[in-house]
């Protein structure tokens, strides 16, 4: 891939990020949550392994939200009235996002629990 094409790919990706922040409430909330988790990781001085897990989890959650939004946008662009198959596609996409967020919350609580408990000792 030429440097020009690579630069254009990154430009499109950043346009996607910007558009998601402007139009997708859940993605914007995810960004705020990611920042809070990063701040907590810095505050508690989590281990390198924990950082790897935290960064991967943040990436999976944000990617999942983008995929959910993309599926909804595609379905909405082809369907102007309610259609059972369109509803299923959108529900499945939303469901996968919920699964990822729940897994992230559980993983985060496992990672941060000992640090939070140490504050109360």
Q: What is the pTM of this model?
A: 0.88
Q: What's the pLDDT at 17?
A: 86
Query: How many domains does the structure of the chain reveal?
Result: 1
The stretch 60-87 carries a mean pLDDT of 93
Residue with tokens 């440097």: 3
State residue 70's pLDDT score: 93
Interior angle at CA 29, CA 44 and CA 6, nearest 5:
90
| pLDDT tens per residue across span 13-44 | 999 888 988 898 888 899 999 999 999 999 99
Give 95: exposed, middle or buried? Use CB within 10 Å, 0-12, 13-18, 19+: exposed
pLDDT of residue 27: 87
The percentage of the chain sitting over the pLDDT mark of 90, rounded to a whole number, equals: 74
User: What was the pLDDT predicted at 54?
Assistant: 98
Q: Indicate the pLDDT class of residue 121, thresholds 50, 70 and 90.
A: confident
Q: Which CATH number belongs to the domain containing residue 68 in this structure? A: 1.10.287.3610
Measured at the CA of 106, the angle between CA 104 and CA 111, to 5 degrees, comes to 90
Average pLDDT, the chain: 94
Structural domain harbouring 50: 3-119
């Amino acid at each position: 891939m030429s440097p020009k094409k690579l630069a254009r790919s990154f430009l499109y990706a950043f346009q996607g990020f910007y558009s998601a922040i402007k139009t997708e409430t859940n993605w914007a909330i995810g960004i705020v949550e990611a920042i809070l988790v990063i701040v907590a990781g810095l505050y508690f001085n989590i281990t390198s392994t924990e950082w790897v897990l935290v960064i991967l989890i943040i990436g999976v959650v944000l990617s999942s939200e983008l995929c959910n939004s993309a599926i909804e946008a595609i379905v909405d662009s082809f369907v102007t009235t309610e259609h059972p198959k369109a509803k299923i596609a959108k529900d499945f996409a939303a469901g996968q996002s919920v699964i990822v967020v729940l897994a992230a919350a559980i993983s985060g609580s496992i990672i941060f629990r000992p640090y939070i408990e140490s504050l109360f000792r």
